[in-house]
Chains A and B, each alone.
Chain A
Amino acid sequence: MARWSGRRGGTPGGRLRRRERVLVLVKPDEARETAARGELDAAERPAADMLVVDDLAKAYGGVRAVDGVTFRVPAGAMAGLIGPNGAGKSTVLGMIAGAIRPDRGEILLDGANIAGSTAVSTARRGVIRTFQTASVFSKMTVLENLLLGAPPSPGERLRSSFIGRRAWRRAEAEQVEQARGLLARLDLTAHADSYAGELSGGQKRLVEIGRAMMAQPRLLLLDEPMAGVSRMLAAPIEALIDGLRASGITVVLIEHELGLVERLCSPVIVLAQGRVLKQGEMAECRADPEVRRAYLVG
């Protein structure tokens, strides 16, 4: 299942990480079995932080988009990152994902500093993100989109196009099977062979989240998963995100729909003008007069 270490020499401390990743996508009864065998990291170290962001900063010209942001996300938690427009939420997410290079500060993933890593190497460490505008591969089928979510496999090497086809085809068949299972959960089986670009906005969101789940991430970063989603699909997407929490993946969620944040997220981190205004439960944040003012003033 965990094939992140397949290419480019593998990840350090692979054993522990592999165990964590096995949590994802296994059925609940299987998860209990694994837990009974004493292999669950989350159970062993419930209080450990998966993600520590320390004094993170990024300026664009004179604008301090992110200005000394510090927060922690415990392993297995679903953290909400909220704040008015321009607060720096997406920049923080981009820096964690390796898409934006921070000016200063540390990003510790399970203790290792990943600040300044590229998007590719960050993803290979198991940090997977979705985008503010659903970023599917439009002229590729939904099934292909999901297959690209799976960890990079030996079959994707150039030489595999010519040699060892039998070996990778078996691995590929397993991934196709896994993707079909996921499509059934996402209620997208009928669209498996449709081009992702032909789907509605909400369905594209589902594909994007499904693709991220195929990656079996250690840390999942969701950037406004509800943006542009029709009412009809809002409930299934919320259920899907809720399911992620239950499966033990650590999630950081940016969302403007605060009801959703309240229902799903703990802790909640409120950003305003590039700084952390408040951290805690959503109810506390809601009650805080400074938070209210930030939302009103913007």
Chain B
Amino acid sequence: MSAATQYYTITILVYICANVIAAWGLDLQFGVTGVLNFAFIIFQAVGAYTAGVLSLGSSSGNGGFEQYIGGANLPFPLPIIGAMLAGAALAAIVGLIALRRLRSDYQAMVMLVVSVVATTVVTAETGLANGAAGLSLVANPMYGLAGLSRQTQSWIFVAFCIVVMLVVGAVMYAVVYSPHGRVLRAVRENEHALEALGRSATHSRLEVFVIGGALAGLSGALLVEFIGAWAPSGWLYPETFVFFTAVIVGGRGSVAGVAIGAALIGVGIQQAVQYLPIGSDPTVLAAAEWIITGVLTLVFLWVRPQGLLPERRRRFAGGSGVVTR
């Protein structure tokens, strides 16, 4: 493989891993439990910023090139863990305010507003995370491995991302196919009936909000450590709908389906538009991406709402509590 092909492959693989992890986070919230988290992207953003700031040195150290709070210079993998905790913590705060008393359609509206407010604040408050220019110069943690070529280091990062994705996938399967997952799906189906059976829907919603927030934070951390930069233009509120499309196209509540959806929508479309006969103007390509994403959402909701790989029907093996899938 030529160096260029290798770089292309590495980039695609890292993006797929990060997208799949994030989409699983949203699937747990929206696909399984039915929480309309229209602010999903801000949890990825907070993870990216946290990981970035935790791996960068103090902001005064770089001659005022970029400004941000913190700058801890922490070794791998602490910034990534910090990003997950930040995503979970922000989700807990937002969730405790928005998810307890409001009806679910109002929750969705609140989330959308939270997302817009977050972008505005981070853009305007330049001291927070370097405003509109965003963070840059975040080093890939594998670049610290001595005696290896850049490419080998990058491949090691890819391997790390794949391992993380597989672990998250295993966690998703364990949760979704357990009795706990059954309660989560019941929240999606009919929260009043569930509460009348002694299970708190609010508790479940808060829980998936926090877990999903942590997964979003994790995906943001992987992206920022690979790209090296993170700015508000990359996490505007419509980005959330890329993940919603991934979940809808893949199959709500289906772990494997959502992984396919995330790879297709999050990465596949972006690559595919380059082969359309519409020139190579980046603005046009980006617009084409959005149009295809939007049309796919509508088409799937209309024609195949269960998605490419629908949620499996749970059957119980005779006389045992084991779910067969």
Q: What is A's interface to B at a CB cutoff of 8 Å?
A: 4, 97, 99, 118-120, 123-124, 128-129, 131, 135-141, 143-144, 147-149, 151-153, 155-158, 160-162, 168-177, 193, 195, 211, 215
Contact = CB atoms under 8 A, between A and B. Distances in A.
B321 A171 contact: yes
B179 interface: yes
Nearest to A215: B197
Given A160-B179, A176-B319, A151 B196 contact: no
Contact of B193 (A118, A136, A153, A176): A136
Given A119-B192, A137-B194, A151-B198, 17 more contacts: A123-B195, A123-B197, A135-B193, A137-B186, A137-B189, A139-B188, A143-B316, A147-B182, A153-B179, A155-B180, A172-B321, A173-B319, A174-B321, A175-B321, A176-B320, A195-B313, A215-B197
B186 A161 contact: no
Given A97-B196, A148-B197, A211-B197, A155 B178 contact: yes
Contacts of B197: 123, 128, 148-149, 211, 215
A172 B178 CA distance: 10
Contacts of A161: 174-175, 178, 180-181
Majority-rule SS of A interface residues: helix
A157 B175 CA distance: 10
Given A129-B196, A148-B183, A141 B321 contact: no
Nearest to B202: A120
Most buried by B among A128, A129, A141, A144: A144
Q: How large is the interface on B (under 10, 10 to 19, 20 to 34, 35 or more residues)?
A: 20 to 34
Contacts, number: 115
B180 A148 contact: no
A84 B180 CA distance: 42
A101 to B, nearest CB: 13
Nearest to B175: A161
Given A120-B200, A123-B197, A162 B174 contact: yes
A141 B313 contact: yes
Contacts of A124: 198
Interface in B138-182: 171, 174-175, 178-182
A176 B321 CA distance: 6
A148 B182 contact: yes
B315 interface: yes
Contact of B316 (A4, A97, A176): A176
Contacts of A162: 171, 174
18 contacts: A99-B195, A119-B195, A128-B197, A135-B190, A137-B194, A140-B182, A140-B185, A148-B199, A156-B179, A157-B180, A158-B180, A160-B179, A160-B180, A161-B175, A161-B181, A162-B174, A168-B179, A211-B197
